[in-house]
């Protein structure tokens, strides 16, 4: 088919086509933008209401607990850090302590869950340790104490009789010192 239109009309048709395409694209973007805005509004209102609720709860907490101050929290933070530095400096490069605790954790029998290690140093320089945890039953707890007593690195192993009151799911505290 022979194209009989002059060049000016071809340009005008092409320009009209580009304008129509541009307007359709703009309309589609506008519709999608409106649709997206409508979909995000519930999330915005929900998060806004949550923010107001949290701020109100914080104000109530601060009003009910005037003794808690940010400066007090900084003091607690500094105190904890100084205790950690003391603990780190007590055994500089002491591989023996590290290996002792690795061995201790490897000897924990099945049925014992260790939740906490505590360390305390006496005025005379003695290092005391406490193990907090949970035992599945009395026999497992007694076997753990026996294993520690047989190890030559530990002394003064104390497992209070009050730990044996319950038959199962026993929360225990076991203390000992290093030789």
Residue range 3-54, pLDDT digits in tens: 788 889 999 999 999 999 999 999 999 999 999 999 999 999 999 999 999 9
Nearest to 141 by CA among 179, 105, 174: 174
The residue from 67, 83, 113 where one domain ends is 67
pLDDT for position 95 = 46
Percent of the chain predicted with pLDDT > 90: 27
Q: How confident is the model at residue 114 (pLDDT cuts 50, 70, 90)?
A: confident
- Check residues 103 and 151 and name the one with the higher pLDDT: 151
Domain-embedded: residue 79: no
The overall pTM is greater than 0.85: no
Domain-embedded: residue 142: yes
Q: Which two tokens stand for residue 58?
A: 């914080």
- Check residues 27 and 99 and name the one with the higher pLDDT: 27
Domain-embedded: residue 18: yes
Structural domain including 15 reads 8-67
CB 143 within 8 A of CB 109: yes
Say yes or no: 63 and 100 in one domain.
Answer: no
Q: Across all residues in the chain, what is the average pLDDT?
A: 84
The domain total for the chain is: 2
CB 144 within 8 A of CB 137: no
Domain-embedded: residue 37: yes
Say yes or no: 51 and 12 in one domain.
Answer: yes
- Check residues 26 and 81 and name the one with the higher pLDDT: 26
Give bridge partners of residue 113 from the DSSP assignment.
134
Question: What's the mean pLDDT in 94-112?
Answer: 73
Say yes or no: 49 and 12 in one domain.
Answer: yes
CB 164 within 8 A of CB 147: no
- Residue 157: give its domain's CATH number: 3.30.1360.100
Nearest to 126 by CA among 154, 107, 152: 154
Domain-embedded: residue 89: no
Domain-embedded: residue 82: no
Q: Which two tokens stand for residue 132?
A: 């907090």
- As a whole number of angstroms, the distance between CA 22 and CA 12 comes to 15
Say yes or no: 172 and 127 in one domain.
Answer: yes
Nearest to 139 by CA among 96, 109, 177, 94: 109
- Of the listed ranges 76-80, 110-114, 145-149, the least confidently predicted one is 76-80
Nearest to 171 by CA among 112, 98, 123, 86: 112
Half-sphere CA count of 131, side-chain side, radius 13 A: 21
pLDDT for position 155 = 84
- As a whole number of angstroms, the distance between CA 178 and CA 155 comes to 6
Say yes or no: 55 and 98 in one domain.
Answer: no
Say yes or no: 105 and 57 in one domain.
Answer: no
């Amino acid at each position: 088919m022979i194209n009989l239109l002059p060049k000016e009309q071809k340009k005008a048709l092409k320009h009209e086509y580009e304008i129509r395409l541009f307007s359709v694209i703009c309309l589609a973007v506008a519709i999608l933008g409106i649709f997206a805005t409508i979909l995000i509004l519930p999330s915005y209102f929900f998060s806004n209401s949550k923010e107001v609720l949290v701020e109100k709860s914080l104000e109530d907490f601060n009003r009910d607990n005037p003794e808690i101050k940010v400066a007090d929290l900084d003091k607690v933070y500094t105190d904890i850090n100084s205790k950690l530095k003391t603990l780190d400096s007590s055994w500089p490069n002491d591989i023996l302590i590290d290996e002792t605790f690795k061995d201790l954790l490897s000897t924990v029998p099945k049925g014992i869950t260790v939740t906490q290690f505590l360390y305390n140093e006496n005025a005379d320089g003695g290092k005391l340790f406490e193990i907090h945890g949970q035992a599945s039953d009395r026999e497992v707890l007694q076997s753990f104490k026996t294993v520690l007593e047989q190890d030559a690195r530990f002394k003064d192993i104390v497992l209070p009789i009050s730990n044996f009151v319950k038959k199962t799911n026993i929360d225990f505290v076991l203390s000992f010192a290093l030789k």
